[in-house]
């Protein structure tokens, strides 16, 4: 059958196995003694610029109109006509973090770049990113170009997703403050012998010939391609200074794998929206990450922050960042559900605002119901870069709160995605009851 591998694909959140093979012949696969239906999947290879920045053929005004219309329609469906659309002050080269994949072009040339098709359709297919000038900075593209020149005659270094041979899988490049960092993901099973020496020469080349001032390496045997906040990385070049970024008048320590906003100019606008509109003195920063939004919202005020996050590393960063900015903040490291119950159990009468900036898939509706059932949560700011995925969360909030306003921020110019802030408040009569309870 030739080289083959299985991977998981998802449709409607249901996993299904996909067999990827270089064989042109039909295969027969059985599961629990029963033959499975096998069909060949066809696909077309797209221009990588159109994959990464699908709206690159439009004027910026056309982009804003095109990408904001579905979000406005959702706001109206949720009963809110008060919608504000906010463009990005910087439209090109705005991303401060990109993940580039090592693979092969259609002609078999080793390359570092972006995928022009889905992983499940062509796991080793990668295209050069030279056309992706709309959202990728020149420094990043120059670094990738230099690396592609180096690996052009070294196909043995590239990780092959079918044969599981080779080493180089992913290179993340991100700018934090004045520093440009690289995090290189390697296949841990091919790092010994001649391959190890070749990798050392490769990392030395990066340090000497690109803009990357610091380089970290992760060695992994996992089939998962990407970085997790708790991935173990080691610094192989550059100094060990802390990486800091300043946004909205606040300074943040940002570890190499920590989540941070990719468009800092729009991130400042996002932070100011919450700071100006939150009337509560206590902010429950749910899924707080390194504390960015809660700390920014409290800056220059007497507001206090209680953050909730399951990642120990993120909580440590949040605590350091709160101290760095003089913010009155407490951070709980536990599941969000457990953290919320701990806060609710304190039985305080203080009115508070819940600030949610969850992963793309949102949080469970059960958690939303717990937040809504907390009598002292008088307002909710729900921040999402994937508003279609969190519709059920928003509908759950609408059962207790009124959707006062929706902000549509163009965090990702030239793509179809936007960042939305849904500001929910208690209806007037319920708000009066909370106010009365707080003053009693």
- Angle at which helices 194-209 and 138-151 cross, to 10°: 150
- In whole angstroms, how far apart are CA 419 and each of 283, 296, 327, 377, 382? 21, 17, 26, 23, 10
For residue 6, the model assigns a pLDDT of 57
Say whether 64 sits in a helix, a strand or coil. helix
C-alpha triplet 178, 184, 187: angle, nearest 5°: 170
Same domain, yes or no, for 298 and 361?
A: yes
Q: Is there a domain that residue 108 lies in? A: yes
Residue 250 belongs to some domain of the structure: no
Q: Of 178, 212, 245, which residue sits at a domain end?
A: 245
Q: Determine the pLDDT at residue 433.
A: 47
User: What's the number of CA atoms in the CB half-sphere (13 Å) around residue 76?
Assistant: 6
- Verify that 415 and 432 share a domain, yes or no: yes
Q: Considering the domain boundaries, does residue 49 fall inside one?
A: no
DSSP string, 397-427: HTTTSEEEEEEEE-SSTTSS--EEEEEEE--
Whether 70 and 126 map to the same domain: the answer is: no
Domain total of the chain: 3
Q: Is residue 51 part of a domain?
A: no
Same domain flag for 161 and 186: yes
pLDDT of residue 27: 67
Alpha helices in 347-404 (DSSP H): 365-373, 391-397
* pLDDT for the residue numbered 346: 79
Q: Give residue 10's domain range.
A: 4-35
CA 183 to chain centre: 16
Q: Are residues 82 and 124 in the same domain?
A: no
Instruction: Quote the pLDDT of residue 3.
Output: 57
Q: What is the pLDDT of residue 223?
A: 77
Query: CA separation (Å) from 32 to 26, 35, 165, 234?
Result: 20, 8, 30, 43
pLDDT of the residue at 193: 62
Quote the pTM value: 0.85
Would you state the pLDDT for residue 348? 74
Whether residue 251 lies inside any domain: the answer is no
CB 356 within 8 A of CB 382: yes
> Mind listing the pLDDT tens digit of every residue in the chain (440 residues)?
455 565 555 454 455 666 666 566 666 777 777 777 766 666 667 899 999 999 999 999 999 999 999 999 999 999 999 999 999 999 999 999 999 999 999 999 999 999 998 887 888 999 999 999 999 999 999 999 999 999 999 999 999 988 889 999 999 999 999 999 999 999 988 656 667 889 999 999 999 999 999 999 999 988 778 888 778 999 999 987 789 999 989 999 988 988 889 999 999 999 999 999 999 999 999 989 889 999 999 988 889 999 999 888 889 889 999 999 999 999 999 988 888 888 877 767 788 999 999 888 888 999 999 999 888 899 999 999 999 999 999 999 999 999 999 999 999 999 999 999 999 999 864 554 444 444 43
**How deeply is 156 buried, as exposed, middle or buried, from its count of CB atoms within 10 A (0-12, 13-18, 19+)?**
middle
Task: Give the number of other Cβ atoms within 10 Å of residue 21's Cβ.
Answer: 15
pLDDT for res 424 = 98
Residues 277 and 341 in one domain: yes
Q: Judge if 211 and 357 occupy the same domain.
A: no
- The residues with which 84 forms a beta bridge, in sequence order, are 407
77 and 151 inside one domain: no
């Amino acid at each position: 059958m030739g080289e083959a591998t299985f991977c998981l694909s998802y449709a409607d959140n249901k996993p299904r196995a996909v067999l990827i093979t270089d064989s042109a012949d039909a295969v027969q696969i059985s599961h629990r003694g029963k033959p499975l239906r096998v069909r060949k999947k066809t696909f077309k290879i797209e221009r990588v610029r159109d994959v990464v920045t699908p709206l690159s053929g439009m004027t910026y005004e056309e982009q804003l109109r095109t990408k904001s219309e579905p979000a406005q329609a959702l706001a109206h469906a949720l009963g809110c006509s008060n919608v504000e659309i906010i463009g990005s002050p910087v439209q090109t080269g705005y991303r401060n973090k990109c993940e580039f994949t090592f693979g092969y072009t259609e002609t078999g040339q080793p390359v570092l770049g972006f995928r022009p098709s889905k992983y499940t359709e062509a796991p080793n297919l990668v295209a050069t990113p030279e056309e992706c000038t709309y959202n990728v900075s020149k420094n990043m593209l120059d670094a990738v170009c230099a690396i592609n020149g180096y690996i052009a005659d070294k196909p043995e270094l590239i990780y092959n997703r079918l044969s599981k041979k080779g080493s180089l899988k992913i290179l993340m490049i991100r700018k934090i403050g004045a520093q440009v960092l690289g995090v290189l993901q390697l296949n841990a099973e091919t790092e010994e012998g001649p391959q190890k020496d070749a990798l050392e020469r490769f990392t030395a080349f990066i340090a000497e010939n690109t803009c990357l001032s610091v380089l970290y390496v992760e060695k992994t045997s996992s089939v998962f391609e990407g970085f997790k906040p708790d991935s173990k990385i080691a610094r192989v070049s550059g100094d060990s200074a802390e990486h800091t970024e300043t946004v909205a008048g606040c300074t943040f320590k940002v570890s190499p794998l920590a989540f941070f906003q990719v468009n800092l100019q729009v991130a400042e606008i996002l932070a100011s929206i919450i700071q100006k509109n939150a009337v509560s003195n206590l902010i429950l920063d749910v899924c707080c990450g390194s504390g960015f939004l809660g700390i920014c919202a409290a800056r220059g005020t007497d507001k206090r922050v209680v953050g909730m996050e399951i990642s120990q590393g993120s909580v440590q960063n949040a605590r350091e960042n709160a101290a760095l900015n003089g913010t009155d903040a407490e951070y709980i490291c536990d599941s969000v559900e457990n953290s919320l119950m701990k806060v609710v159990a304190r039985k305080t009468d203080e009115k508070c605002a819940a600030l949610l900036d969850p992963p793309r898939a949102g949080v469970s509706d059960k958690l939303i119901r717990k937040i809504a059932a907390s009598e002292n949560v008088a307002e909710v700011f729900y921040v999402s870069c994937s508003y279609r995925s969190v519709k059920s969360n928003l509908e759950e909030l609408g059962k207790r709160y009124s959707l006062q306003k929706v902000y549509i921020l163009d965090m990702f110019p030239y793509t179809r995605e936007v960042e939305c802030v849904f500001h929910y408040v208690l209806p007037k009569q319920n708000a009066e009851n909370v106010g009365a309870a707080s003053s009693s």
